[in-house]
Chains A and B, each alone.
Chain A
Amino acid sequence: MKPAEFIRRWPLVRQLTEGDPLGLGKAVQSSRTQTLEPRTHSADRVVSSVCPYCAVGCGQKVYVKDEQVIQVEGDPSSPVSRGRLCPKGAATKNLVTGASREHAVKYRRPFATEWEELSLDRAMDMIADRVIATRAATWQDTEEDGDQEKVYHRTLGIASLGGATLDNEENYLIKKLLTALGVVQVENQARI
């Protein structure tokens, strides 16, 4: 640093030259303070989203940096919410990046007392086998009912619960697949 610059940055000189004789304002601001900018500025991209909690459907903007969510805020353009969020919506970043989230499949063997690790592919394969076996074992096809035939074409051996927290497209695939499998016991939070 040149001597002149050094002197210019000396707080006493700044106090006297920057109109802040008591040294309470700009003269005492650190370089960090002077170059401060909103955290959202550092985002690589901003993605439009919708709050995942209740059904008001508040608009959200998701700020992403280095492939991590760094901030979630209300979207002021939304005619539903006008940029506002409740405490839950405001806690969305905490929800999606929080330490409580699980990132690995966990498997509990029958009668076991602890979880085990299991690869995702293996879990998918095992679940598919369970579905096929249970379905085969519990299939109801038709039944004689007097002179008529009752049609069932179903299994009561499998049930599914959930959907209200999920996307429409996901609900569509759940209903479509389970209907094709003959699973009729499909329910969600709408009745709770």
Chain B
Amino acid sequence: MTTVTIPTIISHDIDTRSHDADGTPRQMGFFTDTSICIGCKACEVACKESNQVPDDGLHWTGESYDNTSAIGCNSWRHVAFIEQTKPVQVPDEQGSGALRWLMASDVCKHCSNAACLDVCPTGALTRTEFGTVVVQEDVCNGCGYCVPACPFGVLDKREEDGRVWKCTLCYDRLKDDMEPACAQACPTKSIQFGELKQLRVIADERVRRLQSRGEEQAQLYLSDSTDGVGGGHAFFLLLDRPEVFGLPPDPVVTTRGLKTIWTSAGGAALTAVAAVALAYLRGRA
């Protein structure tokens, strides 16, 4: 057997500083490698402790070990548990070869083209210097326009205070070059935090390795800047199709028509100005 001497993905000490040496902010993000997720939910708890997110109530769902159910205003990370019995290894009658238990920690995707940002009328949603998307809690007025705009159903209004809450990618911590709480806690580094371009290189290498080991369905999700949301600042390695994890297979930014609309609106406005001017000139005549 070969001896692997390069750091493994688990031991990789990725540079987690959010700024260059000269203080220039970097484009930062999450790479969640679900192939090494152990479903411990440390991410969910570390997030809540760091961001002081309230508990989400006690509801036993019976859906495998998932009692969080979905990302919401009070659960900014959500670990999905998928029990599969399809033959993915050599089937063997009594062993567990036919059994697979997938775990995946989901989070706001911090889309490069973010519909929530586009529709927010108050400017509460903002794109930070790190390329991430944040709801400013002191600006949000709870209008809720962003909620249906998100193709992933991430944005959610907290009824108690009427505002929308979601993952900030620990914007406060990034400002000080600290790792987001979930990524720091993750025992197996299934959640990796770093500069987006470096994470993409790691992810490409990782998916190639898994595929060469026979994980044919290993695939990256939202790592491509040409996809429907322009790629995510949080992207994922999945061992099955996205819909298995409740993720839209081909998400599209819901405001994709916005540019056309503004162009048309601009044209209409110019026409109106011209018409007014013409009328004025006619009047003068």
Give the B-binding residues of A (Cβ under 8 A). Answer: 11, 23-30, 32-33, 36-41, 71-74, 76, 83-87, 89-91, 93-94
Contacts and interface: CB of A to CB of B under 8 A. Distances in A.
Interface stretch (B132-140, B147-155, B246-254, B274-282): B132-140
A24 B185 CA distance: 31
B43 to A, nearest CB: 8
A37 to B, nearest CB: 6
Contacts of A84: 42, 184-187, 189
Nearest to A23: B123
Residue of A29, A30, A87 with most partner-chain B CB within 10 A: A87
Interface string B167-182: 0001111011010010
Interface residues of B, number: 36
A36 B171 contact: yes
Contacts of B49: 71-72, 90-91, 93-94
A86 B136 contact: no
Contact of B184 (A30, A36, A83, A91): A83
Please list the 7 inter-chain residue pairs (A to B) with the smallest Cβ-Cβ separation, ordered nearest first: A28-B123, A90-B45, A90-B46, A87-B45, A25-B127, A87-B41, A84-B187
Contacts of B41: 87
A41 B184 contact: no
A86 B128 CA distance: 29
Given A25-B127, A76-B184, A84-B186, A30 B136 contact: yes
B45 A91 contact: yes
B40 interface: yes
